Structures are given as structure tokens and as C-alpha cells.
A and B are shown apart, each in its own frame.
Chain A
């Protein structure tokens, strides 16, 4: 749900691990992977689901998914059947293939937003945490400014300026996601840079760039990976919300938010119109949340504690 925003933006930094994390790596438990997968069957199912959905979404033709744009007015508003698994919409388009193609928009947005928000937010946080002082204060103000707006309202304002469409929507969602990475990175850097290995590195003459990028950053990555899962979730929800409001992806490109919005219009005639895209989105979000929580557990208890 979309209001995840506020929580993930401002309090998720508190999900950063406190205390000494377990250092067992995957290599230590590789031989027992089947047992681990079985013990964590929910996370395994989530991972399998997302990988499958991703595969089908990237190359739908390989799986014999029909064209989502072909309209057959005679076939309009057909309920789910063997021929049309999820039924058809107002123009007789196959809703199963539209739901599959809709995953492209959602998963694509998630990947793009996480990649760009991380690419901007992590360096910002790294520099702010490493330098402290004025740079840190300025950066803090800037992030506070983004957080001063309820996320979806800021995204809507940005779209009002940039114009409607998938790209501008993704830009808006990226901008409101930057603080999630920047703040968490900053917090981790502040802790890490006081550790002895950093001092050791400095003593042997490492310069600032090397200290930041090669010495400190790798040790901050754990919590950031967990954060990425949660940012992906809320990017999907925010994008779908924008499309639902008619401010995101433009028709006829299939997107879940826009299908839900159309489904709401035809609710009296065709319950299946908005039902399946909504179900798909809920499953994706549940899967991402489950994986995020599992990653968090690995971070705190190590692979052996899984």
C-alpha cells in the first residue's frame, strides 16, 4: 500500500543492524541450501515467483502469451474461461496477457527506481557521513526538504511540472526514494568509519576516495540491500497509484494501476477486470516484503541462523 512511503522513507534507516552481525557467508552453508530453502519455504516461494514473473515479463512471446493490444470487440467483457484465463476487458483484449505485460511496467519501474535512487542516494550519504560538517548539514537539509512533503503529493507535483507518462513518473518516484538510501548510507558510514580497519587503512596511506569507496562502502552494503527490497516495493505501489490516478503510464500500454482504475469503472459489469492486476500486485509486494525481511534476518543472524 502506498502509505508505506512515509515509513520506508523516514524510519527504515532504523532497520539498519545494530550490534555485531553474524559473518557467516553463503559459501559456509552452500551444501545445506536445500534444507535452508525448505525451512524458509515462504521466502523461497517468493523468490521463485518473482523470478518466474520476471522471466515471463521480459520475454512473453517465448511463453506463448498473446498480444495484449489486440482488440476483439465481439469478445468484450468475457468472464474468465479456459480461453481467456483472466477474462477480457471493454475492448475484448485478453486480460491475462495484459496482466503479464503490466508486470513489465511494475518490475521495470522497481528496477529503474532502485538503481537510480541508489546511484544518487548512496554517494550522497557516503560523502555526507564521511565528511560530516557543512557538507553533511547541507545534504541533511536537502533530504529533509524531500521528506517534508508527503511522498505521493511531491510525486504528483513533479508530474504536474514534468508532464504525465511512465518516464516522468519514474523520475518522480526516484526523487522521493533518494532519501531512503542516502540516510541509511550516512548512518552506516558514521558507524563504520570509527572502526579500526578504517584507521588501519588510513595509516597505510589510503586517500579519501579509496577509504570511502573501497574500505567503508563495502561494509555498509548489507543494510542497503535490505533497503533496496523495500524501496522496490514502494516504487511499485507508488507507480501503480500514479497510473491509477491517470498520471502515470499512458494507455494502451498495459499497467496494473491503470487496469485497476479502468476495472473500477466497469465494476458492475466485470469484476475480473481489476481483480487480477490487483492480485498480481499484492503477490509481488508480499514477495518483495518477504524477501526483504529474510535478507534482514540474514544480516542479523547470518546464513547459518536462517
Chain B
């Protein structure tokens, strides 16, 4: 296990470095130099020269990169080009809303996918299975942004059950906060639920065909025991990897859902900073998202190793 974990972790570091280089170069690649963009077309050459000096733009590019990375290591992501506010602080303020949305969506996704996936695998070919497959196909095809708008239209405007948009921190008004979280989580969650349900169905069906399941049946164990003790435990292992892969989808989906529901998270921050050409914030947000994606994938791979002894042993 130790060597597997070490190998996987060693893979992670160069990828993270490469990602940081790409994110760093991204801002260097914008047309015109950063000092020009920041000061606007009316700036005097001396002002531009002074700012270039201050930002270190005259130094060799690798040195600029090293300074930038050192800053990140200290938790310094630079300052906003628009209001000079520290980027790390800006991001920190937006993280809770996105995390709440992510947790809500996962609860919806798993709450639907686990029963649907398992039952449709156990009763393959039944009407439930066919209905589930219809649900999955439909949920995979409906664009999130359309589903979100439809939900607002029906649930908020026609039925008036839930508020259409807005965000309240859970620490302030727990009930209102949960109400506001429901529609965004549903919008993002049902798509993930279709992916997980499909995947879980295949995984359970495959496990059902294994020899040890037949052995368990031959020993005379009850169906309930077989499914609970033998099938599910093994069928859940690949689902863990699926989660790692889909975490990127969760982050990407959050960008869209946040735009639909005026949700003040990282996605909104990214969209507004692209619109206002606040490249320091764009850089910081994308770097953070990519790093989180890589870390979650590392963790899921390691968990996978813990769950499946075959991988631990390196087969």
C-alpha cells in the first residue's frame, strides 16, 4: 500500500506544477502587457514603466513564475486588478457558498442514485429498471441551465413553493438557507444522479455475476445477506473512482448553476472577473479549482487502493 500511495503521490506533484505553469502563462498570454491593460489606454509611458517595475514584469519569466509560486505557498494569490483587494480573501469569501452547493448536490445525487442504481441492477429488465433508464437518459440530455430555469418557473413562480434565487449563509438562518439551497442542489444533483445510477447499475450487475456471489447463494445465504454483505461492498469500489472523475463536473456545473440562481460562489466570481478582465482573480480561481480537482482525484485513488486489496498489492 505504501509504495502504491507514494507512487500515486509522486505522480500528483509534477501535474500540479504543470497546471500552475499553465495558469501562470495564461495571464502572460493576454494580448498587450499586464501593465498596459491595468492602466488603460490613457496611461503615460512613465506610469507603465513604474508599474512594470513594481509587478516585476521586467524580470525573466522563470523568475516571475518563482516569485508567483512562492507567494502562493504563503497563501498570497496577488491582488485584484480592479479593486486591489487580496485575491485570496475574495476567494475565501466565496468558498462557503460553493461548498454548500456541492454538498447539497451530492446529497441529491447519492440519495437518488444509490437506491435507483441498486434496485435497477437487482431487478434488471423490470418496469422499474426501464423507468430508471429513461430517467437517466433524460437527465443526461437536459442541459443544466434549462433544467434550472424550468425548476424556477414551475416550483418558484407557478407553485410558489420556494424562493427563486438568493443565498443566506447556513449559520445565519438555517431554515431559509436550506430552502434557498434546495433548487440549485436539485438542478446540479439530478444530472450527477443519472451518471452515478447508471454506473452503479453496471457495477452491481457485474458483481452479481461473480463466483463468490454464486458461492454465497450456494451456501444458502438469504438474498438480503448476499446483497448487503457481498454485492454492495464490492460494487461500491468503482463508484469511488467515478466520484473523483465527476468532481470536475461538479465544479463545472456549479459555475452554471451559480449563474442561474445568483449564487455568490466561486463560479460567479470567475464569470464576473472574466467579464471585467480581472486576470489576477481569474488566475487564482482557476488555479484553486484545478488544484482541488487534482487533490480530490488523488484522495479517491488512494481510497480506492484502501478499499480494494488487489490494487494495494499492485495487480
Which A residues contact B (CB, under 8 angstroms)? 1-7, 10-11, 141, 144-145, 148-154, 156-161, 163, 237, 240-241, 244-247, 257, 260-261, 263-264, 267-268, 271, 274-275, 278-279, 281-282, 285-286, 289
Q: Are B143 and A278 in contact (CB under 8 A)?
A: yes
Question: Does A150 contact B249, Cβ atoms closer than 8 Å?
Answer: yes
Assuming A149-B289, A156-B270, A245-B256, what are 13 further A-B pairs, CB within 8 angstroms? A7-B246, A148-B19, A149-B248, A152-B252, A161-B26, A240-B143, A241-B256, A246-B275, A261-B145, A267-B157, A267-B164, A282-B143, A285-B141
B81 within 8 A of A: no
- Determine which of A145, A240, A245, A268 lies in contact with B19 in the assembled complex, contact meaning CB atoms within 8 Å: A145
Q: Which chain A residue lies CB-closest to B289? A: A153
On whether the beta carbons of B251 and A153 are closer than 8 Å, the reply is yes
Q: How far is the CA of A159 from the CA of B29 in the complex (A)?
A: 11
Say yes or no: is B279 at the interface (Cβ < 8 Å to chain A): yes
The dominant DSSP class at the B interface is: helix
- Indicate if the CB atoms of B270 and A1 lie closer than 8 Å: no
Given A153-B252, A245-B255, A245-B271: A10 in contact with B245 (beta carbons within 8 A): yes
- Find chain B residues with CB under 8 A from A237 CB: 143
The chain B residues found within 8 Å of chain A, CB to CB, are 14-15, 18-19, 22-23, 26-27, 29-31, 137-147, 149-150, 152-153, 157, 164, 191-192, 195, 245-253, 255-256, 259-260, 270-271, 274-275, 277, 279, 282, 286, 289-290, 293-294
Instruction: Establish whether residues A141 and B152, one from each chain, have CB atoms under 8 Å apart when the complex forms.
Output: no
Q: Are A3 and B249 in contact (CB under 8 A)?
A: yes
Of B15, B164, B246, which contacts A3 at CB under 8 A? B246
Determine if A1 and B143 form an interchain contact, defined as CB atoms under 8 angstroms apart. Answer: yes
**Minimum distance in angstroms from A90 CB to a CB of chain B:** 16
**CB < 8 Å: which of A3, A10, A145, A257 contacts B253?**
A3
Main secondary structure of the interface of A (DSSP, over half): helix
- Distance in angstroms from A229 CB to nearest chain B CB is 13
Given contacts A150-B293, A285-B141, contact A5 B252 (CB under 8 A): yes
Cβ contact within 8 Å between B248 and A244: no
In the assembled complex, the Cα of A4 lies from the Cα of B136 at a distance in Å of 12
Shortest distance from the beta carbon of A185 to any chain B beta carbon, whole Å: 20
